[in-house]
Every structure is written in structure tokens, then in C-alpha cells.
Amino acid sequence: MGLLSKLSKALIILICSFFGNFNKNFSAFFILTEYNQISSVS
């Protein structure tokens, strides 16, 4: 369950970043922030 939620969260981030290519700076910052949160939890 925990792993599945992490994968789904990563998938959501990828989708958001894909559709948010018009604002790459925000997307990159959002991805880095979320990745750091996921890494610190695991």
C-alpha cells in the first residue's frame, strides 16, 4: 500500500509536469520538493 501510494504520487507528478511544460521552473521546483519529501519518508 505504501509503495503503491508512492508510485501513484510519482505518476501524478509526472503527469502534472508533462502538462505543465509551459511553466518549467515551477514544475522542476515542485518535482524536487515532492521527491525530497518522498525520499525523507522512505
Output the DSSP codes for 8-41.
HHHHHHHHHHHHTGGGHHHHHHHHHHHHHHHHHH
Q: What is the pLDDT of residue 29?
A: 78
11 Cβ partners below 8 Å, 6+ apart?
A: none
18 Cβ partners below 8 Å, 6+ apart?
A: none
Q: What is the pLDDT of residue 1?
A: 58
Residue with cell 521552473: 25
Q: What is the pLDDT of residue 22?
A: 57
CA distance 17 to 32: 11
pLDDT digits (tens, 9 = 90+) for 1-42: 588 888 888 888 888 777 766 566 676 777 788 888 877 765
Amino acid 14 reads L
